[in-house]
Chains A and B, each alone.
Chain A
C-alpha cells in the first residue's frame, strides 16, 4: 500500500512519463507532484487539470445519474480522461476513496516514447493501490 510519494515515483516509471501529480479536482489543490509539467508550474497545472476533470465528473453526458454499470459493478462514473497533444499525452485517472473526496492521478507522457494504452492500465492500477488498505 504505497503513499502519495511512492505512487508518484511508480508513475514516473511508466515508459515516456514526464511528470505526474495527485490533485483534488474540487479545490484544484496539488496533493503531490513529481517531474516536469508543461508550463513549469505544478500548482497551475493542477488547477487547470482540475477544471477539466470537474467538467467530466459533473456533466450528465459523462457522468449519468445511474450509479451502477450494466454488470452491476459500482464505482465512479468517469474512469479516466485522455488528452492527446501534438507532443504528448495526458492521462487523468479518477481515484475512488472510502471517504468523500474528489481526487485524480495525472500523468503527462512524451508522445514519442509513451504508450497510451499501457499508461492507462498502469495508472488505473496505481490509483487502485493508492487507496488499498
Chain B
C-alpha cells in the first residue's frame, strides 16, 4: 500500500483518533461517525440503502416507511427491519456496507470543497456494522485507482450514458445489459444506478468497463470547445463501417496519452 501524498481527508483521520461522534459533511456527501468509526454515509450521487433494499421488490416501500416511522426517532431503523423479519441480519449488513462505502467514495472525493464536522449527530438508520475510518478512506482511494485502471476517462461517470453501435466484437454481460437498457441518452450512470437499485460505484465501474470495450460512448473532454461544424461530406462518412475501428483507435490513442 503506497502512502498517499495527501490523505483523502486528514480531518476524518483526526476525528477517528479522538473517537469523535457526529457527522462529517463535505460537498459530495456526509460520513456519520460513532466513537471514531464510520457507521453510515450518504451522498446525493449514491442510492440510499432504502433504494437498494426496495428496488428488487423484496422489501416493500411500505415496510421501509413503517420502519422509519416506528424506529426512526430512536435511531434503530435497521434493527427494526431485522427484528421484524423483513430483512435478514446478513443481508442488512451486506446491503448497508455496500451503501456505506458507495456514499463514502463520493463524499471523500478529492478536492470537494470544505469539510465541516458537527459533534453529537447520529443517523436514524442506527448501528449496523461500524467500519474503521482508515479502512473507509483506504477503500475510497482503492476505488478511485480501480476506475482509472479500467478506463482513465472520468467524463463517462457523469455524462448521460449512450450506447455505441455494435459491430466491433464486444458483447455486454447480462448485468451490463440491464444498465444499457436504461441508456436513453438522458440518464447518467448515477440515475441508472438508482433505477436498478445498485450501488453507484459498481455502476460507474461497469460503465468504465463498457467504455473500455467500446460499448458506450466516451464523451470528449468538455473543457475543449466544440470544433467548427464539419462540412456535410465529412458527415456522410458516418455510414462507413470503418468508423467503429477509427473510434477505437482514437480512444486507444487518447488512453495512452
| A-facing residues in B164-219 (Cβ within 8 Å) | 173-175, 196-199, 201-202, 205-206
A4 within 8 A of B: yes
- Is B252 on the interface with A (CB-CB < 8 A)? no
Interface residues on B, range: 35 or more
The size class of the interface chain A forms with chain B is: 20 to 34
Within 8 A of B (CB), among A28-78: 28-29, 31-32, 41, 43, 47, 58, 63, 65
A131 in contact (CB, < 8 A): yes
Asked whether A84 is an interface residue with its Cβ less than 8 Å from the other chain, the reply is no
Decide: A28 near B202, CB < 8 A? Known: A7-B90, A99-B53, A100-B52. no
Do A26 and B202 touch (CB < 8 A)?
A: yes
User: Contact flags (1/0) for A98-114 with B, using CB distance below 8 Å?
Assistant: 11111100000000000
Q: Which single residue of chain A is at the shortest CB-CB distance from B171?
A: A60
Specify the chain A residue showing the minimal Cβ separation from B105. A27
Q: In angstroms, how far is the closest chain B Cβ from the Cβ of A84?
A: 27
Instruction: Give the distance in Å from the alpha carbon of A65 to the alpha carbon of B175 in the complex.
Output: 11
Out of A2, A29, A100, which one reaches B139, CB within 8 Å? A29
Chain A residues with CB under 8 A of B146: 27-28, 47
Cβ contacts under 8 Å, B98 to chain A:
24, 29, 31, 101
Residues from chain A with a CB closer than 8 A to the CB of B206 are 26
Say yes or no: is B75 at the interface (Cβ < 8 Å to chain A): no
Closest B residue to A24 using CB positions: B98
Which positions 87-134 of chain B face chain A at CB distance < 8 Å? 87-95, 97-98, 101, 129
Can you pick out 12 interface pairs between chain A and chain B where the beta carbons lie within 8 Å of each other? A3-B89, A4-B90, A4-B97, A24-B202, A43-B139, A58-B173, A63-B174, A98-B91, A99-B58, A100-B52, A101-B95, A133-B87
